[in-house]
Chain A
Amino acid sequence: MENDAILLQQFHQPETREAAFTAIMHKYQERLYWHIRRMVVNHEDADDLLQNVFIKVWNHLDDFKENAQLYTWLYRIATNECLTFLEQQKKRAAVSLSDVATGLEDKLKADTQYDPQKLEWKLQQAILQLPEKQRLVFNLRYYDEMPYEEMSQVLGTSEGALKASYHHAAKKIEAYIKANV
């Protein structure tokens, strides 16, 4: 894996721009994909959003401040894309009188691998009961193993608030799993 600083230098050179961008995509695509996928559940939605994220990265990477970490910047863009998408879903649900959380749960159950007896699926169901921000915090901490300091840069929230949010999320998940054993 090439260093981000080198990739950024190459991106700024017209002759190596495309190659550097491809390398950045290869480096981060899976992490970003799963971050998005856990938020929107469905592969098609995750794929659309991930492509949008990379298109935005291509368009704005020249403006990227190199004193920040590329990795947290990418997560920030991906997170914003997810939240915008979920907000749009909420508006559509309000019009059609359905519920977004239920919609995500339906998508989860529609997965061909879905097995309600397996703990990993039960855990996903529990996570889907959380408010969006708590869901984000839990996923970033639990699955992406992101330190609070970096999470704070991604979400623009204080570390204390993030710790409290993670604490609440873990307690709610525990309660949900106990109730649905």
Chain B
Amino acid sequence: MPETEKIRAELERLVPGASWPRTYPEGKVPEGYFGTLPGRVLDAVASLEDHAREASWGKTNPYTVPAGYFDRLPGIIAKKVTPAHPVMMLPRQRRLSRWSSWAAAAVITVLIALSGLLWFSRPPSHSTGPSFDQQIASLSSEAIEQYLNTSTSALNTDELLNTLNDDNLDDASSRQLSGQDLEKFLSEEIPDSLY
């Protein structure tokens, strides 16, 4: 069955009795429109191609480079990218493992946190007077000399303590002296030779 008959039968099934016109209403097309259209399209195509040609501005480069520039360039670049001293690569075993790095980072973080905690939890300074440096500056040289001649410094005490033999201390602490032994020891006459 030709397509026209198929379409007619199909429409009759869909809309029984439909007698719709099959032609488009005679909308005006300017006289000679279809006769001139191909020529106008070809003109338009030619015009577009001319525009495309005009738009290509050429690629001649007006700039120049010093003679031999491109021959030397790879060598110059190679020198710049090659390090002056060869880089020593540590063997893999000697590099810190990832876990070691993380552990070190964690320790440092904890130390920083503790330092901060101690710093902020220390008792506040009540000093409102002149600073330590100012006080030192206000002292006369005579006063300082006198102080150094008469005072016993904490440093000297520490030095004395350091001279004690640890073994002696252990012996003393390990000796189990009874109260009577101590009394006897204290009541004994101390020989003059010891003075």
Chain A residues engaging chain B, CB cutoff 8 angstroms:
18, 21-22, 25-26, 29-30, 33-34, 37-38, 43, 47, 50-51, 54-55, 58, 111-114, 118-121, 123-124, 141-143, 145-147, 166-167, 170-171, 173-174, 177
Contact = CB atoms under 8 A, between A and B. Distances in A.
A113 B27 contact: yes
B15 A170 contact: yes
A112 B18 CA distance: 27
A145 B33 CA distance: 24
Nearest to B5: A145
B44 A55 contact: yes
B11 interface: yes
Given A18-B42, A43-B30, A174-B18, A37 B24 contact: yes
Contacts of B4: 145
Contacts of B26: 113
Nearest to A22: B38
Contacts, number: 85
Closest 8 CB pairs of A and B: A25-B38, A120-B25, A120-B21, A54-B41, A170-B14, A174-B15, A22-B38, A145-B3
Nearest to A139: B24
B34 interface: yes
Nearest to A26: B38
Contacts of B30: 43
Contacts of B3: 145-147
